[in-house]
Structure 1
Amino acid sequence: MSAFLQQLPALIGVVVGALGSYLAVVRSDRARFRQESAVRWEERRLTVYSDYARSLKASVTLAYRVAAHFGIDPHPHPLAPREAAAARAEAGLDRDPAWEALLMLGSGEVVERARAWFATVLAMERFLRGAARDPEAWRALLERQRAARTGYYTAVREDLALPAGHGARRPLPPVSDIP
């Protein structure tokens, strides 16, 4: 029995060491799982944010092209409103599921900025359906749209902890300079 008592401290040390090792592995696995899960969700959010931006940008491009048809935008590929109708409907159908995904996964700030961008795009479309063809009013809508898009991208970058990006502002030629 005295041999057992002499080895008891060593046996207790082995048990404590094994238990400590097990707990360290479990804790490490949990931390890795949480980190991998966070990365997966960030990737999904980035995809959702990109899909929504792409779907809304399709509507914006159609608006530019229709405005060019009316002579108030410098877009190089004018498109008559009748010819744009099917593409507008398709863009709307693509945008709806992208919006729903954004509502599910997006942060509150990103959703609000997306809503503001969308409202501006709707204002552009209403303007083009109306009778007014004022180039200055169109330019004001373009500036609102660009500011709303920038706000959306800023909110996305903040939500995903990305560095600030390019403002994507490029000078547009005046409508009168277009051949």
Structure 2
Amino acid sequence: MSVFLQQLPALIGVVVGALGSYVVVVRGDRMRFGREQAARWEERRLGVYADYAQSVKKTVTVAYRISAGNGIGHHPDPLTLADAERLLAEANLERDPAGEALIMLGSVDVAEKGRAWVVTVMEMERFVRTGDQDRDAWQALLDRQRAGRADYYAAVREDLGLPPGHSARWPVLTDDPVPPQR
């Protein structure tokens, strides 16, 4: 029995060491799993945010084209409302599921900024559907849409922990800078 008592401290040390190693490995695995899961959700949210922005932007582009067709906007490929109906319908059909994904996976702030942006875009769509020729009213809608888009992107960047991005305010030439060839 005295041999067992002499070996008992070593045996206790082995058991304590094994338990300690187990705890460290399990804790490390849990932390790694948590980091990997957070990265997956962040990647998924980025995809949802980008899909939503692209779906809203499709409506914006079609509205720009119709406004050019109505004589109040500038787009190199103007469309009449009749020619654009199918494109508007497709853009709206794509936007609905993207909006649902945004509500489901997005932060509250991003979802609110996305809602504000799309409300302005729907006003733009109504404006061009009526054939309104008020250039100042159209310009006000364009300015609100651009501000809404900037707010949405800023909220996305904040939610994902990204640095501030480009303002996306590029000067748009309304006249052809190249003189016509004679």
Common fold by TM > 0.5: yes
State the 4+ residue runs in structure 1 displaced beyond 4 angstroms: none
Q: Partner letter of residue 29 of structure 1?
A: D
Structure 2 runs not aligned, ≥5 long? none
Provide the residue aligned with 2:115 in structure 1. Answer: 115
Residue aligning to 2:147? 147
Measure how far apart 1:126 and its partner are.
1.2
Cα drift, residue 131 of structure 1? 4.1
Q: Which residue of 2 aligns with 1:49?
A: 49
Partner of 1:35: 35
| SS of 2:94 mapped into structure 1 | helix
> Which structure ranks higher in relative contact order (CA pairs < 8 Å, sequence separation ≥ 6)?
1
Aligned-partner residue type, residue 110 of structure 1: V
Matched, 1:92 2:87: no
Give me the whole-angstrom Cα distance separating, in 1, the residues matched to 2:131 and 2:17.
Answer: 81
The unaligned stretches of length 5 or more in structure 1 are none
Displacement of 1:3: 1.1
Q: CA deviation at 1:95?
A: 0.7
C-alpha distance in structure 2 between counterparts of 1:8 and 1:132, whole Å: 92
Residue 52 of structure 1: SS of its match in structure 2?
helix
The CA distance in 2 between the partners of 1:163 and 1:42, in whole Å, is 15
Please state how far the C-alpha of 1:67 moved relative to its aligned partner.
Answer: 0.4
TM-score under structure 2 length normalisation: 0.94
Give the structure 2 partner of residue 82 of structure 1: 82
Deviations along 1:5-42, one digit per CA (max 9) or x if unpaired, are: 11111110000000000000000001111110000000
Q: Quick one: distance in 2 between partners of 1:3 and 1:10?
A: 12
Aligned pairs, number: 177
TM-score with structure 1 length normalisation? 0.96
Match of 2:163 in 1: 163
Instruction: State the match for 2:104 in structure 1.
Output: 104
C-alpha distance in 2, partners of 1:72/1:173? 14
Distance 2:16 2:172 in 1: 72
Q: What percent of counterpart residues are identical?
A: 63
Cα shift readout 1:54-77 (whole Å, capped 9, x = no counterpart): 000000000000001112111111
